[in-house]
Amino acid sequence: MSFLDLKNITKIYPNGTKAVHETSLSIDEGEFMVFVGPSGCGKSTLLRMVAGLEEITEGEITLDGNLINEVDPSERDIAMVFQNYALYPHMNVYNNLAYGLKNRGIDKQAIEQKVNDAAKLLQISDYLQRKPSMLSGGQRQRVAMGRAIVRNPKIFLFDEPLSNLDAKLRIQMRLEIKKLQQKVGVTSIFVTHDQTEAMTLADKLAVINNGVIEQLSTPIEIYNNPKSLFVAGFIGSPQMNFMEGELKNKTLSAEGFEIKNVKSDYNGEVTLGIRPEHLSQSDNGLINLTVDLVEQLGSDNLVYGQLKDKKDFCYRCPGNLTIKKGSKLSLNIDNDNYFIFDKSSGKRVN
Amino acid sequence: MKIKPLQISAHIILILGVLLMVVPIWISFASSTHDTVTILTEGMKFNIGEHLSRNYNEVLNEKGGWSEEVTAAKMFINSFIMALGIATLKVIISAMSAYALVYYRFKLAVPIFWLIFITLLVPLEVRIFPTYKIVSDLGLTNSYTGLILPLVASATATFFFRQFYRTIPDELLESAKLDGANSWRFFVDFLIPLSKTMIAAMFIFMFVYGYSQYLWPLIMTTSEKYWTVVMGMKIIFTESYEGVALPRTAERFAYIILSMIPPVLVVVILQKWFIKGLIQTEK
């Protein structure tokens, strides 16, 4: 049995909306689990059910061997970092950190010790006496994390905690969260809609869509081996290129080219997916691209253009190649790195 | 710096406003320092007279009323106790009922809120006989409890607290819950400190409301020991002159000036929070 177990969890809101469908997953102790998906997919609802902030319509959640369905959130020994931090505006940073400990009846000296340790770990010792309104976004974020850490809970829950920060700070805090989690070693669930955050933070990644876990695996496995059209489109930046085609007797024919010896026995209409980074230029390439726009990122160039059938297409190439707008490129797929999905069900077929 | 005509007119308007507020008080004060004969013969005064200390001494210490049992000082104390009781209980009850209405999401919360709100249409004056009946059945006439209790429910304050609580983000409650706070702790550790400006503002309004009650104390007190300032104003410092009751005008002015002091003190002490509460919500 693992540390946190979700068994057939379903959430139906009073107005009839089904937010989560019979979801099961388990998280091992010390693992960093990330729920990723578009807004409204049910990932936050799932997290809030673990926290006890939403009622569970059906199913069971067990934490550390105990069924916690009916346990009050205050008794679950769970800490959560909210999107807007939810710092206590009338308390200074010290009291923000100490509040949860005080409620647990810990004596004053022990509280001081714990708060100071957590503050040191997060480098917020200098502003312990300040009110949250006097802190910057990054500092508030740290205080929110400090409030979670100081209690040494069984699980950390993060509900999109980085979405209120500017881009640079977000990357910095992302790193810090990961480092901190590794240092403290607490089991964590992190909810985000940002696939980069998801990829970089997760030990295990659950891609959620419409209240269902589409795929649950390590980030790199999900990137290399997406099980469905949705996962393939959601993970990876820039997004995977998709084109329509037909698979018949192991031959895939798409607009303007064919791929032979496909490792699939599926016959019928399919969607072909190719990641922008799995292409390279060659003289007799399969794909002919007319360049519209080049984004130079320095290390890489993102080349946007159109195929014969006017379909948009993206190609990622090393930054040292010079590609001019309007030029025509001939591209080949590297090492059979393509994905074929059943067009109607979205399931992977190769 | 040039003074613009607009500024001048604005200042004239403001000065007129200030005069409108201050002049009556000044006249009362100035008149309270003359003797009654001067005022009755010469009209109200703008200058300070010679009887300041005598008049004020008399007001505070002379026994008045039908049976000469009550002094003005006693009435000030009565009014102060009544206003303090009303304001304190009103604030506590309203804050707690608003808490229940906002944070306990039971089905009847909205109808109950409107029911509370409708009581604004039924002030004490309208329901004075049933109220009197209940209070007298409970044996509470001629007591501070009887003076205070029928006035402690407040739809206005409940409404203001409710509106304020609704602006507090849900995450704060959720976060507090995860930090181990129960409903009571959330109320005490969060809502009360967050609404302290609101509490100060409500306290002032309700204090003045309680202090200026006239009809209720008039009806429910028969013992002079429980007379309040506003009632007393009509009754005490009357002199019988050839069978006609004549007011002792100078003393009455002194009495009016003194009666203003308790509410003014409350406002002065709480004004720092009061103004904050009116112009901003601290979040």
Band of the pLDDT at B282, cuts 50, 70, 90?
very low
- Is A70 within a domain? yes
Domain end position, chosen among A201, A232, A263: A232
Domain end position, chosen among A194, A215, A232: A232
Domain end position, chosen among A198, A232, A266: A232
Query: Is B171's CB within 8 Å of A100's CB?
Result: no
Beta strands in B125-252 (DSSP E): 238-241, 244-247
Do A191 and A291 fall into the same domain? no
Asked if omega into B262 is within 30° of 0 (cis), the reply is no
Query: Is A100's CB within 8 Å of B178's CB?
Result: yes
A51 touches B at CB < 8 Å: yes
Do A93 and A242 fall into the same domain? no
Do A208 and A292 fall into the same domain? no
- For residue B61, pLDDT over 80 is answered with no
> How would DSSP label each residue in A295-322?
EE-SSEEEEEEE-TTS-EEEEEEETTS-
Do A103 and A189 fall into the same domain? yes
Interface ipTM > 0.85: no
Do A154 and A297 fall into the same domain? no
**DSSP 8-state code for residue B150:** G
> How would DSSP label each residue in A315-338?
EEEETTS---TT-EEEEEEGGG--
- Is A100 within a domain? yes
Nearest by CB to A103, which of B171, B180, B190? B180
Query: Is A103's CB within 8 Å of B181's CB?
Result: yes
- Is A306 within a domain? yes
Do A176 and A247 fall into the same domain? no
Q: Which chain A residue shows the shortest CA-CA distance from B191? A: A90
Shortest distance, CA B196 to any CA of chain A (angstroms): 11
Query: Is B174's CB within 8 Å of A82's CB?
Result: yes
Query: Is B169's CB within 8 Å of A84's CB?
Result: yes
Do A76 and A140 fall into the same domain? yes
Report the residue of B106, B175, B188, B191 to disrupt the A interface, i.e. the one with the largest count of A CBs within 10 Å: B175
State the pLDDT at residue B242: 66
Pairing relationship of beta strands A257-259 and A187-192 according to DSSP bridges: unpaired
Q: Which chain B residue shows the shortest CA-CA distance from A82? A: B171
Do A112 and A184 fall into the same domain? yes
Q: Which chain B residue shows the shortest CA-CA distance from A86? A: B172
Domain range for A194: 4-232
Query: Is A73's CB within 8 Å of B174's CB?
Result: yes
CA distances from A68 to A4, A5, A7, A253 (A): 10, 10, 12, 53
- For residue A282, pLDDT over 80 is answered with yes
pLDDT in tens, A23-69: 999 999 999 999 999 988 999 999 999 999 999 999 999 999 899 99
State the pLDDT at residue B221: 86
A163 touches B at CB < 8 Å: no
Beta strands in chain B (DSSP E): 63-64, 70-71, 238-241, 244-247
Do A38 and A179 fall into the same domain? yes
Query: Which residues in A lie closer than 8 A to residue B182 (C-beta atoms)?
Result: 74
Query: Which residues in B lie closer than 8 A to residue A97 (C-beta atoms)?
Result: none
Instruction: Establish, for the pair of chains A and B, how many residue pairs have beta carbons separated by less than 8 Å.
Output: 60
- Is A200 within a domain? yes
- Is A348 within a domain? no
Do A17 and A166 fall into the same domain? yes
- Is A349 within a domain? no
Do A200 and A163 fall into the same domain? yes
CATH number at residue A335: 2.40.50.140
State the pLDDT at residue A205: 94
Domain count, chain A: 2
Beta-bridged to residue A188, according to DSSP, are A32, A156
- Is A85 within a domain? yes
**Helix, strand or coil, per DSSP, at residue B191:** helix
Do A270 and A227 fall into the same domain? no
CATH number at residue A211: 3.40.50.300
pLDDT in tens, B108-131: 888 998 999 898 888 888 888 999
- Is A347 within a domain? no
A104 touches B at CB < 8 Å: yes
A84 touches B at CB < 8 Å: yes
